[in-house]
Amino acid sequence: MQQIEKTLDELNRVAARYTTLKSLFSQFQQSIEKASKSFPVKGIALTTVTATKSEVEFLDRRYTISFSVADGHGAIEFTRMKEPPANSEPTRLALVRFNGEGVLDIKQPASEDPMNLKEESCCLNLLVHWLLQDAPA
């Protein structure tokens, strides 16, 4: 009986961690959605599809921003969606990880400070960087 209690405790710990990480991703979604409405660059369309996925359209390209958990950390993946021909594959453009405090595994541009999902400016910085890196020349 003691083993099942340990297993259930571990399962509860994992579920709580997932909830925390998913909540941080939800903050990220809300931050970029709010910022995109008043952003000076026009033409960025952002839609929250589910609690774990958003879609972005910019310059006739469509992207997904999705949440997952890997090795106890949250992960945000930025992917260009399929384009014709229909057999083309989505292209992963970026993958960042974050801890339970929202601290990302990347630094702010021109700084040694880590980025944090709790800061709206960092969330917007990520989105702008991702869009710029894939913008047509």
Output 65 or 42, whichever has higher pLDDT: 65
**pLDDT attached to residue 117:** 92
Nearest-angstrom CA–CA distance, 137 and 122? 25
pTM of the predicted model, to two decimals?
Answer: 0.86
- Average pLDDT, whole number, for the chain? 89
**pLDDT attached to residue 43:** 85
Instruction: Residue 114: give the domain boundaries.
Output: 2-134
Q: Please compute, for residue 96, the number of CA atoms within 13 A of its CA located in the half-sphere on the CB side.
A: 23
Give DSSP secondary structure letters for 83-127.
-SSTTPPPEEEEEEEE-TT-EEEEEPTTSSSEEETTSHHHHHHHH
Residue 104 scores a pLDDT above 90: yes
Check: CB of residue 97 under 8 Å from CB of residue 104: yes
Total domains present in the chain = 1
Nearest-angstrom CA–CA distance, 137 and 135? 6
Check: CB of residue 75 under 8 Å from CB of residue 67: yes
Q: Which residues, other chains included, contact 112 with Cβ-Cβ below 8 Å and sequence gap of 6+? A: none
First to last CA, the chain: 63
**pLDDT attached to residue 1:** 60
The total of other beta-carbon atoms located within 10 Å of residue 49's CB is 12
What are the angstrom distances between the C-alpha of 98 and each of 4, 7, 128?
30, 26, 18
Q: Name the DSSP class of 74.
A: E
